[in-house]
């Protein structure tokens, strides 16, 4: 089996999740790490035994020995790096959000479609968690009956220090937004994974707790209408007291599912025998892969699963049309978040 050689571009807080996940893959070698801050890059290289450090991603793209890249830089830099990777014939996996500029998201999506020979992905690791796959199967098989109501609540305490420690955070140009684009985006993506595409939405986004510190929202409430007819309410804030908490409630005409932080909190079903059987399935699905070194607990362990899938698709040589973590899927979620901002700014309902 051929050794696949890769690069990780961006050596901030998410990079260990990529580096540790690739280290678990057979015949995969990270040959270079890259960051505009050489000290950061050298620290990651030493931590993960990577032999080469660069400060300009263009030098990585020129290296024909590199088969794939992971993009882990600030949001507002993703587009140029992904486009350069595709232009240079490299498979690419990009962290969320694909980019905070809609025109760049569209350009990335079009470039990926123009290179079906390359595997292109966007990180939404929660799609790969067993509990979320089970929930999707229950919804799509009709076990829950018709979906009557969906509610989502996301809270993540982010202090002024958090934003001040990285100059790009909380800026319109480089982060593109706040709560929605950086924390709640994962769960908006899961709603798409469960219920399909959104038809229209109304959003209110406000900066309530970090005025004078950030340019973007820290609190948001959204009403979503899916093309399937499902209605969902999503709310959240980075001003809450707890470090991280996500609660999802799905009310069906035959059953109810509530999860908290990717774990089953409550399952009730009209058929008590089937309720017992499905509850056992939830117990089995709660077993997650171990967290890669240096990863924050609320990321979950599924970076390992998504990046393993990325490598499998590269080896299969068949493109990404059916990969659940494809760039095309990530682009749809990016547009959804950007539509939320458009709705809030215009104080209007947006058709997606």
Percentage of residues of the chain with pLDDT beyond 70:
97
Give 71's strand partners. Answer: 9, 94
State residue 64's pLDDT score.
97
Dump pLDDT digits (tens) for 280-302.
999 999 877 766 655 666 677 89
Asked if residue 41 has pLDDT above 60, the reply is yes
Dump pLDDT digits (tens) for 48-70.
999 999 999 999 999 999 999 99
Asked if residue 143 has pLDDT above 90, the reply is yes
Q: Which helix (H) or strand (E) holds 234?
A: strand 231-237
Asked if residue 87 has pLDDT above 60, the reply is yes
Dump pLDDT digits (tens) for 298-317.
677 899 999 999 999 999 99
State residue 243's pLDDT score.
86
State residue 8's pLDDT score.
98
State residue 242's pLDDT score.
83
State residue 135's pLDDT score.
98
Label residues 295-334 b or e (16+ Cβ within 10 Å = b). beeebbbbbbbbbbbbbebbeeeebbeebebbbbbbbbbb
In whole angstroms, how far apart are CA 339 and each of 259, 318, 347?
26, 32, 12
State residue 298's pLDDT score.
67
State residue 292's pLDDT score.
62
Percentage of residues of the chain with pLDDT beyond 90:
91
Dump pLDDT digits (tens) for 202-231.
999 999 999 999 999 999 999 999 999 999
State residue 289's pLDDT score.
72
State residue 291's pLDDT score.
64
State residue 32's pLDDT score.
98
State residue 295's pLDDT score.
65
State residue 90's pLDDT score.
98
Dump pLDDT digits (tens) for 148-170.
999 999 999 999 999 998 899 99
Average pLDDT, the chain: 95
* Region of poorest pLDDT, from 13-17, 36-40, 146-150, 216-220: 13-17
Asked if residue 97 has pLDDT above 70, the reply is yes
Find the mean pLDDT for residues 105-124. 97
The DSSP-derived string for 140-154 is HTTTT-SEEEEEEEE
Dump pLDDT digits (tens) for 73-85.
999 999 999 999 9
Dump pLDDT digits (tens) for 245-271.
999 999 999 999 999 998 999 999 999
How much is the pTM?
0.95
Range list of β-strands (E), the chain: 4-9, 28-34, 52-54, 68-71, 91-94, 120-122, 147-155, 198-206, 219-226, 231-237, 245-252, 255-260, 263-269, 350-351
């Amino acid at each position: 089996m051929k050794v696949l050689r890769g690069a990780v571009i961006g050596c901030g807080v998410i990079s260990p999740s990529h580096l540790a996940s690739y280290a678990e893959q057979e015949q995969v070698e990270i040959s270079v790490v890259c960051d505009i801050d050489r000290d950061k890059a050298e620290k990651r290289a030493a931590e993960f035994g990577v032999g080469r450090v660069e400060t300009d991603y263009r030098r990585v793209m020129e290296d024909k020995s590199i088969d794939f890249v992971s993009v882990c830089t600030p949001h507002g830099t993703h587009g140029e790096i992904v486009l350069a990777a595709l232009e240079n014939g490299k498979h690419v996996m990009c962290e969320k959000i694909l980019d905070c500029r809609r025109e760049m998201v569209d350009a990335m999506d079009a470039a990926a479609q123009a290179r079906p020979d390359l595997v292109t992905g966007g990180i939404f690791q929660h799609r790969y968690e067993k509990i979320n796959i089970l929930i999707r199967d229950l919804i799509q098989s009709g076990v829950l009956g018709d979906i009557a109501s969906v509610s989502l609540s996301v809270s993540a305490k982010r202090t002024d220090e958090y934003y001040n420690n990285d100059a790009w955070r909380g800026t319109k140009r480089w982060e593109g937004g706040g709560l929605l684009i950086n924390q709640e985006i994962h769960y908006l993506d899961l709603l798409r994974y469960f219920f399909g595409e959104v038809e229209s939405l109304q959003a209110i986004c406000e900066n309530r707790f970090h005025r004078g510190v950030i340019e973007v929202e820290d609190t948001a409430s959204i009403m979503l209408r899916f093309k399937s007819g499902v209605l969902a309410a999503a709310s959240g804030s980075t001003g809450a007291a707890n470090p991280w908490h996500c609660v999802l409630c799905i009310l069906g005409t035959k059953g109810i599912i509530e999860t908290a932080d990717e774990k089953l909190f409550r399952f009730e079903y009209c058929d008590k025998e089937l309720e017992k059987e499905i509850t056992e399935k939830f117990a089995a699905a709660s077993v997650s892969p171990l967290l890669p070194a240096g990863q924050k607990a609320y990321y979950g362990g599924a970076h390992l699963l998504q990046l393993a899938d990325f490598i499998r698709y590269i080896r299969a040589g068949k493109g990404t049309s059916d990969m659940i973590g494809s760039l095309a899927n990530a682009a749809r979620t990016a547009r959804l978040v950007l539509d939320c901002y458009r709705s809030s700014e215009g104080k209007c309902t947006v058709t997606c």
